[in-house]
Every structure is written in C-alpha cells, then in structure tokens.
Structure 1
Amino acid sequence: MPHVLSIAGSDPSGGAGIQADLKAIAANGGYGMAALTALTAQNTQGVRAVHVPPADFLRAQLDAVGDDIRIDAVKVGMLADVEVIRTVAAWLRDTQPPIVVLDPVMIATSGDRLLHPDAERELRSLLSLATVVTPNLAELAVLVGHEVTDWADALTAARELSAAMGTAVLVKGGHLPGDEAPDALIDTAAGTHAEFPGARIRTANTHGTGCSLSAALATRLATGDDPATAVRAARAWLRESLRAADDLEIGRGHGPIHPFSGLWARGGVETRPTPEEVAAAWWDETAAIRRDIDALPFVRALAGGTLDRDAFVFYLAQDALYLREYARVLAEASRLAPTPDEQAFWAEAAHGAIRGELELHASWLTPETGVSGATFAAEPAPATVAYLDHLRAVAFGGDYATVIAAVLPCFWLYTDLGERLHTGAFGAAPRDPRHPYASWLATYADPAFAEATRQAVAHVAAAAARADDTGRERMRRAFLASSAHERAFFAAPVARAVV
C-alpha cells in the first residue's frame, strides 16, 4: 500500500483540500497523511476566512511525518504565501520524495486570483521539483504567461510549460465550453503526449475535483503505474465519483464529488466477520436444533441403554445409505477445493466415511460379509431421502463454499453429541462398558473425529469469512438446512416405530 502525503489547506466542509485528498488517496488504495498549510472557514457556497499557521509549524509537521513514516508520493495543493511555498520547496529538496504531484491552486472557480503576484512567481519556481503538474486552463495561462482560449492552445501551453520546467503536465479541460471535457498528459522530455477524451458529466457538484484528481494521481503513480496508466485510472475514478455526486446532497452550493460511490456499490459498507465470529454465530443458530436432538426419544434411549435393537439397526441401516452418498459429496468438495490442504482434507474425510464408518456399520448389519451390497439393502426412509436430496442438490450446484457448509453438521453435531455423552451430560450409562451399545458410543467421542471436526469448522468458517454477503448467506442456509435434516434423521428410528 503506497503512503501518500498531502500538503494542502483544510476544508471543514470536507469537499476539497486535505479532506478531499485523504478520501481520494484511500479510494485509490493508498494510506493518506496530511500536513496543513492553511485553515479555511468555508462551505459549499464559498470561502469566508483563511488562517495561515506559521511556516515553521508547517515544517515541523513535514519533519514529524518524514522522520517516522515512509513517503512514497507527495501531493502539493494550496500554498498560501511566499514563505509557505519556500518552506515546502526546502523540505522537498531535503527529502527528495520519489513522486511529487503539484496541483497549482492559483485561480478560484469564480476566476478570482488566490495568490499575490510574488507568491505566483514563487510557486512557478516550485514546478521544477514536481513529477507532474496538474493545472486547469486558467492556472496554465498564468504559468506560461499568455492566454489559453481553446484546447489547441492548452496543448501548446502544456508543451511549453513541460519543456521549460522539465516536468510532466496534466492539463485539464474541464473549464472548456461545450460537451467535452478532455485531459492530456504532456511530457516533452519523455516524448509523452497522451490525450484522454471524455464527455462532460453534467453536475453542479464539482467542489474539490482538482484536489481529488491530483491526490488520486499521486496514489496511482505510487503503486507503480506508468504515468499514462495512472492518469487513466485516476480519471476513471474521478468520473465515477462525479456521476454519483448528486446523490450526496451536501450543502446548498457546489457540493463535493462522491469519492466512495463505486467502492460502496461494489463492496458495500458492512464489515466482514472473522472466521471465529462466523463459527460462533452459526453454532448459536443451531441451539434450538441441538436442544431438540437432546430431547429425542432415540437419543435418550440410546444414551440410557434402553433403545430397542430394531430401532438401532434401522438407524444403522439408514446411516449406511447416508454415508455412501455423503462420501461422494465429500469427494466433490475435494474436487472443488481451492487449495491442496483443503483438497486433501475432504478427500481423507470421504475415505474415512467409506472405510472407517461403513466398516463399523457392517460389523452390526452384515458381520458375515463386511461392507457389501447387503449393507445397503434397506429401503431409504423419508428422512434419509430428504437429507441426501439436499446434499446432492448443493453438490450439483458446484459452489465449493456451499458444499462444505452443507456437510459440516454431520461433523459438528455428531462430535458435540458424542463429547457430551462421554462427559456425563446424559448420565453415567454411556460410559459403562456394559452398555449394550458401548462400542458404538465410543466412536462418537473418537479424538480423531473431533480433530477432523475442528478442521472442518475452520475450513468452512474461513470460506464464509472470505465470501461476500450473498455467498455467506447461501452457505448459512445450506448449513442450517443440513442441521435440520440431522435432527429429522435422529428422530426417524423411533418415529417410524410410533407410526
């Protein structure tokens, strides 16, 4: 990120000066700093008063920043008098920043001269220290000492100024009459003559456009863009900001541009959650589902050792059908995974579901043959069909983040239930080796599965934190839908017997 220092006056209404510069720098990807050359009392209707702090205080500001922070570019704006101009010039010579963009603030939009003639002469001598100078047509005329009446005159004057000062000149055509508002970058030493046409954007809210463009240009140059590319990018941002200027409705005069309109439209203003915040919020949203699971007759009877064997075998048979398809969804997650680490994790989870968990199921269902066709001979129950249809639909969509959100409850809810079974949340019976389903319950609290769950939560939460609002909400819905299917799956063995 480039560090850009604005040396300019202050506008308390926020539309011009350092306030505009800092917004422009931020909007173009830089870190903005500011040294104040003047304090103004102004608003969108005009300037009421100007106070110029002592020049030695300005130098103290510049030295304080330069002594501590790397400066990649400097934008120079309003310099109120000869002493201020000389102070800035001396500091530039002492520090020699790599990029200096000088916006020669000399003529107000009304046409009034802002500087005394001696200050204008002193400012002209500052041009040779600049990388790029960005005058409007009236300022260009003052700098070259003759009238500039049309665009052809402007290009000629820009070449003259560039040759005389040894600097690039970005001449701005916004004050031309008519429907076009072109700009041009002229650098006689480099042989650059790049013109940038553009239709005039019809708005009265143009306060601070010169400040903003020069600050944006300094930032773009500091990122490493060549001059023409930097101008093109800065202009594109400025024009976008001008098109949205009327939306701000600031003040009763000439309002400012809307420097963040594009950023807000593309990215919004809501902060993204951290992975930890995502995990905590989603887990909280399953609280009612987890309470319902705890209260299910199947879970209570399983914990207490009173569960009918037929209900248990029914559950295992349905779980075998589920795991076979679940493994395929995990494999799809592995195929879609963006990193080798995630690819390996989901592939190992798919392998574990087939080799580890299904073999345990077969030890109860088909002990003579192991995992075979007979293991999957049961008729799928409605809850099983619904859950698998949900997972297949998500997997078919091909959205990696949503797929892993959908498979997460099978990790997370099972691990949570197993850990609480083994810590006595359901009484002492699950830890009794004489429990009829002791070997099965032991798998719920398997440390390896707990670690796999931790990794699954981390992968899903990280993906959700990276996603935009729409993608994160899609993930959340898939996660909660799977959690609800988990509840129905646990309810099915006893519900079927009741029906």
Structure 2
Amino acid sequence: MTSSLKSAVYAVANTGRRTPRVLSIAGSDPSGGAGIQADLKSIAAHGGYGMAVVTALTAQNTLGVTAVHVPPVDFLRQQLEAISSDVSIDAVKIGMLGDAEVIGEVRRWLEEVRPAVVVLDPVMVATSGDRLLRESAEAALRSLLPVADLITPNIPELAMLLGEPEATDWSTALEQGKRLAAECGNTVLVKGGHLAGAECPDALVNTSGLLRQDLVSVAGPRVETKNSHGTGCSLSSALATVQARTGDWEASLREVKPWLLQALATADVLEVGHGSGPINHFHHAQQAEGPGAFAARLWEEAAPELDAIHGLEFIQGLESGSLPEPQFNYYLAQDALYLNGYSRVLARAGALAPTEEEQLFWARSSQLCLEVESELHRNWLSTREAATHTGPVTKAYVDHLLAASASGSYGVLLAAILPCYWLYAEVGHRLHASYVTAGSPSEHAYADWLKTYADEDFAEATRKAIGFTAAAAVVASSHDRAAMVEAFAHSCRYETAFFDAPRLHA
C-alpha cells in the first residue's frame, strides 16, 4: 500500500478520534521558538496531542546557536521505545537529528513501528545560518528520506540534499523538488520562503502518482517580518497533525498555510528576544488584529477565487496559447473600458487619503490606468476586431467600485480596489512563470502579452496597496473592518467573473 493510501485509510478509520496523537522527534530550543517547543505549540494549535523525543540539546536564542549537545543514542532508543510501547501514535514529525548514529536509530524505529504519517523536516541549517547537522551525517540523512511520506526542505536544504546549486527562482525550485520526489519516491513540499518577491508560494510535488496531481501549488503573500524563527518546524508539525485527520496532503496544506501566514503576520506582537523572534502559534486565540493579520485575513477570502481563476478556460487557454482570438479581443476591449472607470475610483481614493504619500500613490495609479487604457487602444485594439460596448460583468464591477467610492469610507474603498492589484498580480505572476518555464516560445499566440506580466513596478505597487489597506483597517471601527472584508470579497468574485466573461460573451 502506498504511503498516501496508507494515511488516507488510516484517517478514515480514525475519524471518530478527535485528538490526533503526534510525536515530534527533534532538537530542543530553550528560547521556545523552534525545535520541539515550536512543534508542541503547533500541534496544540491544530487540535493535536503533542509528544516529544529529544534528539539534541542546543544552547540558542533569537540571535543564534552557540552550542549543540547530542545525548547518547541508547537514551534516544529508550525514549522512542517508552512512547511507542504505551501510546498509539497517529503521526510523526522529524526535525533536527544531529549525527549519523541518531539518524540510524530513528530509521530503525520507524521501520519497526511504521507510523501512518511521517513528515521529515530535514533540518540542516538554522535560519540564523548556524549548521545543525554534521557534514558527516548528510549521507545518512539522505538514506532516511525514502522512509518519510512528506519531506519539507527549505530552498537551501533542497539544494544540499540534491548536491546542486541553490535555486534562485520558483521554477528552478520546483524542478529540484520534482527530482528529489522522483529519487525518494514520496512527496516533497517545495517552499518559497527563501526566494525574493511579494509572493511566497508553496507546492506539493510528487512524480509517483501519490497525489491527484503531480504538482499542487498554493499561492500566498510574503509577510514582511524579521520574526520567522521556527517557521519550518511549525509548518511541518502542523502538516503532520492535520494530515492525521484529513489523509489528504493538499487539503492539509490548504488548511495549514493560512494559519502560518497569520502566525507570521502577528509575530511582532510577541516581542521575544533581540534577533529573529518566534512566530505567533496561537494568534487565533487573541483579539488584537494588526495590519499583517488583516492582510492575511483578506488573503483567506481571496484564495478560493484565485483557485477558481486558475481553473478557468480563459486562463488555461491564455497560458497554453490555445485561447480563441475573439475571446482575447473581448477581454482586451473590456479591460480598456474597465480601466477608464477604475481610474476615477483611484482618483477618489487619492482625495480621501489621509497622508501625502497615499495621496500621491493613488493619484499616480489613476494616471497610470489612463495611460494603460491608451496603450491598449493604440497597440492592441487598433488592429483587432472587438466589441466596444460595456459588457454586463464590466458594468457590474465598475458600479460596485463606484458605490464603494461613494460610501465615504477610505478603508472600504481601498478594500474594494485591492483585488484588481492583488489577484491580477498573482495571476500574472503564474502566467509569466509558466511562459518562462516553457522556454518563452516565440510561436506562443500571446507571447507579447505574457511578457508584460513581468512588471516589478506593478508588483511593488501591489505591495503598497496591500500595506495601505491593512493600515486603514487598523484605525477603522469593527463595523468598517467588516465592511472592508465584504467589499474585498465582492471584488474578488468580480475578478473571477471578469476573467470568465470572454467565454460567455465573446
């Protein structure tokens, strides 16, 4: 039975048990941010009962690691046997292992006990840059990889496991993940946290048919914070806990990722240490909602619509180059009409903005919309046959934005505006990345259009728009914040409908 079937069957059989029993086999972090301490918090945050077997003791804090002590392997064996002889273990998360002898003992125990869910976070280098695995143990760690159901390396660890240079872009990281999954015969979680840019995607990769698809990508925004200590530990232990309940890696990732985004977005409120502090595991139990938390909350609203957009025939046809030209022409014409109305809404945002920086930003954005509209007419629509009347979806979307601009609330208006930045940037990033991954074929019917999506200026504008919206939410009343979420969600739905309109009306 394959590992995915094993965990799925186990999850069904285990449906009546409300509390997954999850064992962390990892090192100890006395500052509480990483290792077994982070694992236990993460397991508890997802409704599991956490247990821990200590593989190594570290002297560390938020500034770095100063010493590592690996207890005798006989004591490790006693810990493992004490737990498994008494407790039925639903899932295992493996973190820092230290040396080859420890790795060998953990592998022996796993092959004997055969837990239903095994998540291996191949901890090799700490966030601070400190090495946590002896170089002599790297070969032993590679031999442990096939025993796991899911491997969760960060970008540097992924490169080290393959003996390759570190990936500097998402497409390269995905290719490395595919090679590791093929080599180990299991599923690899490729994480975008170490890459640059406004987006921070994660992807489940498998080449052996263990997933419904070989590649499952889950988009997400990058959270700007220095407090990310223990992110990898927390993510892997959360996935182990949720997987014990769902038996579905995709469903588990889609549940855990929004939680992790908010844990990062609210990390600053903890104020632990002087370096890279811990994430906020129990943010959902706290009342305060800062800018980052509100942005993460909006992302949860956007994620289903973004998934729906990526599944549309229009987007798939645009990505492959097979989109019928009348549909593309209709989209361009409606985009030009939309931008004319959108520019007026942006101008209104500038008029309501409380600071000079925001006033200038929205004014420039309004001007840019008109320039882009002119560019569409001059270079695209002048040579194409396309309807010049406003389509029903375009009219409804613009009317919604105009209503938000008339509400008098700066925050509500910004929330309504934001999806045209955020979702468009996410869709554009994926389309351009797919085009580049395919080798940028010049024969692609929409090559010239896809090239325009690689616009760092627009990505930067999107980051600013998100920041201004989140800042407006902090000073808004609870009633206004609720209205902001509703306006944002409404615009997200219109974004989906706008991309689908060419299929229905062209």
Q: TM-score band (shorter)? A: 0.5 to 0.7
SS in structure 1 at match of 2:92: strand
Query: Which residue matches 1:263?
Result: 285
Output the TM-score relative to the length of structure 2: 0.52
Cα deviation per residue 1:350-372 (whole Å; 9 max; x = unaligned)?
Answer: xxxxxxxxxxxxxxxxxxxxxxx
Q: In the alignment, which residue of structure 1 is the partner of 2:230?
A: 208
Q: Which residue of 1 aligns with 2:409?
A: none
Look up the equivalent residue of 1:205 and give its one-letter code: N
Question: Which residue of structure 2 aligns with residue 62 of structure 1?
Answer: 80
Deviation at 1:73, TM superposition (A): 0.3
Structure 2 CA distance for aligned equivalents of residues 96 and 86 of structure 1: 15
Q: Is 1:150 the equivalent of 2:155?
A: no
Matching of residue 198 in structure 1 with residue 216 in structure 2? no
Who is 1:414 aligned against? Answer: none
Distance change (3 Å), C-alpha of 1:10 and 1:112: closer
Mark the runs of 5 or more structure 2 residues left unpaired by the alignment.
Answer: 1-18, 289-506
State whether residues 27 and 263 of structure 1, in contact with CA within 8 Å, keep that contact through their aligned partners in structure 2: no
- Matched with 1:10 is 28
Of 101, 116, 125, the residue aligned with 2:134 is 116
Alignment pair present for 1:220 and 2:242: yes
Match of 1:169 among 171, 184, 188: 188
**1:248 aligned onto 2:281:** no
CA distance in structure 2 between the aligned counterparts of 1:255 and 1:111, rounded to whole angstroms: 15
Query: Alpha-carbon deviations, 1:26-51, whole Å to 9, x = none?
Result: 00110000000011111111111111
Q: Does 1:229 align with 2:238?
A: no
Please report how far the alpha carbon of residue 225 of structure 1 lies from its aligned counterpart in structure 2 after TM superposition.
4.0
Measure the CA separation in 1 of the matches of 2:40 and 2:275: 22
Identity of aligned residues (%): 59
Aligned to 2:64: 46
Q: Is the 8 A contact 2:63 2:128 kept in 1?
A: no
Correspondence 1:400-439 to 2 at 5 A: none
CA spacing shift, 1:16–1:133, aligned 2, 3 Å: same
1:206 touches 1:257 (CA, 8 Å); kept in 2? yes
Aligned to 1:105: 123
Deviation at 1:131, TM superposition (A): 0.5
Whichever residue aligns with residue 214 of structure 1, its letter is S
1:318-329 correspondence runs (5 A):
none
> For each residue in 1:464-493, what CA deviation from the matched residue of structure 2 results, as whole angstroms up to 9, or x when unmatched?
xxxxxxxxxxxxxxxxxxxxxxxxxxxxxx
- Residue 68 of structure 1 aligns to a residue in which SS? coil
What CA distance in whole angstroms lies between the structure 1 residues aligned with 2:220 and 2:170? 13
TM-score by length of 1: 0.52
Q: How big is each residue's C-alpha offset from its partner over 1:413-440, in whole Å with a ceiling of 9 and x where there is no partner?
A: xxxxxxxxxxxxxxxxxxxxxxxxxxxx
What is the alpha-carbon distance in structure 2 between the residues aligned to residue 4 and residue 202 of structure 1? 31
Partner of 1:343: none
- Deviating runs (4+, > 4 A) in structure 1? none
Whole-angstrom distance in 2 between the partners of 1:11 and 1:87: 22
Q: Which has the greater radius of gyration?
A: 1
2:45 to 27, 31, 41: 27
Aligned length: 266
| Distance across 2 between alignment mates of 1:10 and 1:113 | 15
Instruction: State how 1:70-469 maps to structure 2 within 5 Å.
Output: 70-147=88-165, 148-190=167-209, 191-265=213-287
Gaps of 5+ in 1: 267-499
CA separation of 1:112 and 1:15: change in aligned 2, threshold 3 A: closer
2 CA distance for matches of 1:113 and 1:135?
14
**Counterpart-to-counterpart distance in 1, 2:261 and 2:59:** 28
Q: Which secondary structure does the structure 1 equivalent of 2:164 belong to?
A: coil
* 8 Å CA contact retained: 1:186, 1:193: yes
State the one-letter code of the partner of 1:63. Answer: E
Looking at structure 1, the residues matched to 130 and 196 of structure 2 have their Cα atoms a distance apart, in angstroms, of 19
Q: Deviations over 1:310-342 (max 9, x none)?
A: xxxxxxxxxxxxxxxxxxxxxxxxxxxxxxxxx
Q: Is the 8 A contact 2:64 2:128 kept in 1?
A: no
- Is this contact kept in 2: 1:244–1:257, CA < 8 A? yes
Q: Say whether the 8 Å CA contact 2:20–2:48 is kept in structure 1.
A: yes
Following the alignment from structure 1 to structure 2, what is the Cα–Cα distance between the partners of residues 13 and 74? Answer: 23
Once the 2 structures are TM-superposed, how far is the Cα of residue 116 of structure 1 from its aligned partner? 2.7
1:59 CA displacement: 0.9
Q: CA deviation at 1:180?
A: 1.4
Q: Secondary structure at the match of 1:6?
A: strand
